[in-house]
Chain A
Amino acid sequence: MANVIIAAYNLKKYFPVGGFLFSSKQTIKAVDDVSIKIKENEVVGLVGETGCGKTTLGKLLIRLIEPTAGEIFFDVPEEIIVEYEEALKNKDTKKIEKISKRYSFLNKKGGELRRMRRYMNIVFQDPYSSLNPRMLVKDIIAEPIISTGYASKKEAEELVFKLLEEVGLTPEFAFRYPHELSGGQRQRVALARGISTLPKFLVLDEPTSALDVSIQAQILNLINEIRKKYSITILFISHNISVVHYMSDRIAVMYAGKIVEEGYKNSIIFDPKHPYSKALISSIPRPEPMREKIIINLQGEIPNLINPPKGCRFHPRCPVAFEECGWTADEVFQDIEYIIMRRYAEQFNGIKRIYIEDDFTISVEYEGKNLIEEKLKEVLNKEKQELRSLISIKNIKSESTKIKIELYKFVEPEMYKSKDGINVRCLLYREKK
């Protein structure tokens, strides 16, 4: 069986923000509970909006930044991964500990880790800022070779010329500085540095988004060539979905720090399951002006990751969200307040105040006649179409001088398997009991 190059389980990365002396620190949950598995010789594409944690995940996988929690295996036989997954399912803590003690990538330290770094590398998005302007191209490429102990200084020099040829640059480029190169040439140098130690695993973080279309084509084809020649496993991060589709075997869609859908590329592109990937894929611009367009328009923006929405993180923007998707009193409160205090203010004169009782109940205090309950029910029903949060109202009870609005409790979605091998994190696809 082939080796699994990268297997990550429940990976988390929280970045601390703010906090002063005794005030409590908040965290940005950039990557939250992500599991990803990449087999040998596979290219996995990672797509998502800006700020959804794509780059953070890429950096976590090769330990450029340390995860807050989780487990990563690097280049481990598949049997062990299967064993580990089983142990996770059965919650066999002893076995989990035993396996992770022996194989975990996170346990590696010092010299061992540095030697392992040979087998992984990363190419960054902007070739203008990822190359040191004070170093010659040959020194840029030779740096990882020497620091990982892959070859001696003398051998490294020879290797550099071979690598330059590999990426389609002539030997005289070795003695130039990065500012003398064009964008495409810089990205070639960055790529030469990326493959300088013959890595097994390469993270390509938006390698072509700063380039022109024709140069992008050159670089993409070059990556494909090199990958086949040296059998490199690739994580291809990009927000350009047509490029990801061209390059990869499998695609993972990320939203607000979580992978929401993952599967083979054609099934994801042509038949996406998650409402977010549906919207994302429908809005790709295509060079076919005459095609029929069916586009799902999304309202709102990517949520604040300091306090991400409860339940499914996509529910506030989701066009098909239903009762259990993760509505909490805060969200519903805003809409109810808007309806009562602004939109239908003339009809609700007797209302004193609206407040949140607990996570799933909102109370409305009023004076005078008892007709308000009926009116509220009617208005809320009417507005359900436009304000999706009102869908989560379970029932409306009246108690002497106040009305209690109870909400459904939400369910945290997990990865569910759908028919054509896609894993979806959406309650619509959960198995029916």
Chain B
Amino acid sequence: MSEILTINNLKVWFHTRRGTFKALNGVNLNLRKGEVLGLAGESGSGKSTLGLSIMALLPSNAIIVRGSKIILKNRDYLKYFELFPEEKIDRKFKIKKNQKIMKHIRDFLAKIRGKEVSMVFQEPMTALNPLLQIGYQITEALLAHSSINLAKRILSRINLTEDDVREILKIVKSSKNVEKDLNEFSKLKKLDGIEDQVLYILNRKDLSTIRKERMIYSLKEKMKNPLTMSYLKKIAENKSIGIYRFLNRIPILKRYLKGVLIKEGYRKAIELLAMLNIPHAEKVVYMYPHELSGGMRQRVSIAIALANNPDIIILDEPTSALDVIVQYQILQLISELKYKLNISFIFISHDLSVLAEVCDRIAIMYGGRIVEIGPIDKIFYESLHPYTKGLLRAIPKISKDIKTIESIPGTVPDMRNPPNGCMFHPRCPYVMDVCRNKVPKSIEYSKDHFVECFLYGE
């Protein structure tokens, strides 16, 4: 499997009045295409900070230390910025200059955020805007990155001829691999975007075949007025929209220009929501977040994350606020999407039993470092690091003879002045003299199973 995201020696610190808070201290991580990587650890171990740094959503007092690398699809995007080296971060640290650098990084990543990497947050109630309709919130994400696609979808419906429809129906009836054939057909006829719409109709379960055929026939749309048409064509061909930028500010004209795209966004939103098994998606797009239940809201935030076909989705405790049954449905949805769309997920959670349900690999974080990473069965059945073992012992297991659960003594270290050597040594039951002075290096214990601990290796 090819690697889609590589993080090398990532150090993210926070400048505070009471000293530097060292949230991440050299994280090495790689994410492969089409896998779910679990990220586990206690609160304060830096899981969420890692997620936010990939998205470049860090607050302005954050410092990315020189030498950190985040390589997304073979592009190291931190390379372009002059980051502060480690030794310069002291009392005379220039905060203003750092804030400028952080702002540049944030602005630079705005192009990538949502399109290549997107994120789902823990609390769907606070992540969604209570004043906007669900459909509009999804449309917003679409307009930001793929207004080209929206314009193409509209044009494809307008350019559709009666013969084309007949051909599509023929493909639908006879072909074995409808998806592939439709793709070829739309490329041949230059009707990009029609295949999504046809497939959505075909995948609907609540309609009889006759109705579906009728709906495919009714896809054809009338020609719009010349102003709208030229606007759409310009967007579809990715040309600069020039004068339309000003026309879009005139309310009446806006209805015919941007309004058309927004309407199309709602249409696409319905398709996205239906893909996530939301019943009555046609009604849901016109609802507001408070009208939905917790599970539905979380599905909507996943839909927003999915809107632009990203390669990576970061899920930050997506199920912590949900009930078991709803949680299971969301987990099932994630594994379904993994197979269907070949997206990579980073699943952040403090609950190892949730990670056990969906992940391919699990990384255990402690004190801003990844102390153990490996395939799921290795982590659960042959765990190496004392911290991983401790976490596993702390989960109550359902079995007929109840074993007492054990907690890890002590608390997460204060990252303003973290312990020397291995971060875990003050709490570790196997602590040795080496652990107090030296930071352990990552060792490949068995294939694909890495651990940072002096107990293993020479």
Chain A contact residues, CB within 8 Å of chain B: 49-50, 182-184, 212-218, 220-221, 239-243, 245-246, 266, 269-270, 279-280, 283-290, 295, 297-298, 301, 342-346
Q: Which of B330-365 contact A (CB under 8 A)?
A: 331-332, 350-354, 356-357, 359
B393 cross-chain contacts in A, Cβ below 8 A: 217
> A298 is contacted by which of B325, B327, B380, B381 (Cβ under 8 Å)?
B325
Distance (whole angstroms) from the CB of B278 to the closest CB of chain A = 12
A342 cross-chain contacts in B, Cβ below 8 A: 206
A214 cross-chain contacts in B, Cβ below 8 A: 42, 390-391, 394, 407-408
Contact (A269, B394) CB under 8 Å given A221-B404, A287-B353, A297-B329? no
* Interchain residue pairs with CB less than 8 A apart (16): A49-B325, A50-B323, A183-B43, A214-B390, A215-B42, A239-B323, A241-B398, A243-B396, A245-B396, A280-B325, A284-B324, A284-B353, A285-B353, A285-B357, A286-B356, A343-B207
B324 touches A241 (CB 8 A): yes
B405 touches A220 (CB 8 A): yes
Q: Which residue of B294, B325, B381, B395 has the most chain A CB atoms within 10 A of its CB atom?
A: B325
Interface string of B121-132 (1 = CB under 8 A from A): 000000000000
Give the residue name and chain of the B residue nearest to A346 (CB).
B210
B208, CB-defined interface residue at 8 Å: yes
Complexed CA–CA distance, A311 and B378 (Å): 49
A280 touches B356 (CB 8 A): no
Chain B contact residues, CB within 8 Å of chain A: 42-43, 206-208, 210-211, 293-295, 323-325, 327-329, 331-332, 350-354, 356-357, 359, 376-377, 380-381, 390-398, 400, 402, 404-408, 411
A242 touches B207 (CB 8 A): no
Complexed CA–CA distance, A183 and B211 (Å): 56
A213 touches B351 (CB 8 A): yes
A213 touches B210 (CB 8 A): no
B329 touches A242 (CB 8 A): no
Contact (A246, B43) CB under 8 Å given A50-B323, A270-B400, A287-B352? no
Q: Which residue of A213, A221, A286 has the most chain B CB atoms within 10 A of its CB atom?
A: A213
B405 touches A246 (CB 8 A): yes
B325 touches A279 (CB 8 A): yes
Distance (whole angstroms) from the CB of B373 to the closest CB of chain A = 15
Distance (whole angstroms) from the CB of A343 to the closest CB of chain B = 6
15 additional contacts (CB under 8 A) given A221-B405, A266-B400, A285-B353:
A49-B325, A183-B43, A212-B43, A214-B390, A214-B394, A217-B393, A242-B353, A242-B398, A246-B405, A283-B327, A285-B331, A285-B351, A287-B356, A297-B332, A343-B211
Q: Which residue of A49, A183, A216, A287 has the most chain B CB atoms within 10 A of its CB atom?
A: A287
> B323 is contacted by which of A49, A218, A246 (Cβ under 8 Å)?
A49
Distance (whole angstroms) from the CB of A206 to the closest CB of chain B = 12
Complexed CA–CA distance, A204 and B411 (Å): 24
Complexed CA–CA distance, A280 and B295 (Å): 15
Distance (whole angstroms) from the CB of B329 to the closest CB of chain A = 7
Complexed CA–CA distance, A113 and B394 (Å): 40
B206 cross-chain contacts in A, Cβ below 8 A: 342-343
> A216 is contacted by which of B323, B325, B354, B394 (Cβ under 8 Å)?
B394
Distance (whole angstroms) from the CB of A263 to the closest CB of chain B = 15
B408 cross-chain contacts in A, Cβ below 8 A: 214, 217
Complexed CA–CA distance, A241 and B327 (Å): 13
Complexed CA–CA distance, A295 and B329 (Å): 10
Give the residue name and chain of the B residue nearest to A47 (CB).
B324
B351 cross-chain contacts in A, Cβ below 8 A: 213, 285
B397 cross-chain contacts in A, Cβ below 8 A: 242, 286-288
B395 cross-chain contacts in A, Cβ below 8 A: 213, 217, 242, 287
Complexed CA–CA distance, A295 and B335 (Å): 15
Complexed CA–CA distance, A245 and B325 (Å): 17
A49 cross-chain contacts in B, Cβ below 8 A: 323-325
A283 touches B208 (CB 8 A): no
B398 touches A269 (CB 8 A): yes
B390 cross-chain contacts in A, Cβ below 8 A: 214
Complexed CA–CA distance, A293 and B142 (Å): 37
Distance (whole angstroms) from the CB of A244 to the closest CB of chain B = 9
Give the residue name and chain of the A residue nearest to B328 (CB).
A283
Complexed CA–CA distance, A246 and B327 (Å): 21
Distance (whole angstroms) from the CB of A121 to the closest CB of chain B = 24
A239 cross-chain contacts in B, Cβ below 8 A: 323-324
Complexed CA–CA distance, A288 and B398 (Å): 10
B354 cross-chain contacts in A, Cβ below 8 A: 285
> B394 is contacted by which of A217, A266, A289 (Cβ under 8 Å)?
A217
Give the residue name and chain of the A residue nearest to B329 (CB).
A297
B325 touches A283 (CB 8 A): yes
B325 cross-chain contacts in A, Cβ below 8 A: 49, 279-280, 283, 298
Give the residue name and chain of the A residue nearest to B406 (CB).
A217
Complexed CA–CA distance, A344 and B377 (Å): 49
B328 touches A285 (CB 8 A): yes
A212 cross-chain contacts in B, Cβ below 8 A: 42-43, 350
Complexed CA–CA distance, A215 and B45 (Å): 14
> B293 is contacted by which of A246, A298, A301 (Cβ under 8 Å)?
A301
B294 cross-chain contacts in A, Cβ below 8 A: 50
B356 cross-chain contacts in A, Cβ below 8 A: 285-289
Complexed CA–CA distance, A156 and B211 (Å): 76
B392 cross-chain contacts in A, Cβ below 8 A: 287
> B407 is contacted by which of A221, A295, A298, A345 (Cβ under 8 Å)?
A221
A286 touches B350 (CB 8 A): no
Complexed CA–CA distance, A290 and B408 (Å): 25
Give the residue name and chain of the A residue nearest to B392 (CB).
A287
B396 cross-chain contacts in A, Cβ below 8 A: 217, 220, 242-243, 245-246
Distance (whole angstroms) from the CB of B274 to the closest CB of chain A = 15
Distance (whole angstroms) from the CB of B66 to the closest CB of chain A = 33
A-B pairs, top 8 by smallest CB distance, nearest first, are: A217-B407, A246-B396, A283-B328, A217-B394, A218-B407, A285-B353, A287-B353, A289-B356
Give the residue name and chain of the A residue nearest to B360 (CB).
A289
A290 cross-chain contacts in B, Cβ below 8 A: 377, 380-381
Distance (whole angstroms) from the CB of A228 to the closest CB of chain B = 12
B402 cross-chain contacts in A, Cβ below 8 A: 245-246
Complexed CA–CA distance, A363 and B402 (Å): 57
B293 cross-chain contacts in A, Cβ below 8 A: 301
B406 cross-chain contacts in A, Cβ below 8 A: 217, 221
B400 cross-chain contacts in A, Cβ below 8 A: 266, 270
A285 touches B208 (CB 8 A): no
Complexed CA–CA distance, A239 and B231 (Å): 53
Distance (whole angstroms) from the CB of A201 to the closest CB of chain B = 23
Q: Which residue of B331, B390, B400, B407 has the most chain A CB atoms within 10 A of its CB atom?
A: B407
Give the residue name and chain of the A residue nearest to B381 (CB).
A290
A182 touches B411 (CB 8 A): yes
B331 cross-chain contacts in A, Cβ below 8 A: 285
Distance (whole angstroms) from the CB of A196 to the closest CB of chain B = 24
Give the residue name and chain of the A residue nearest to B321 (CB).
A50
Complexed CA–CA distance, A279 and B391 (Å): 27
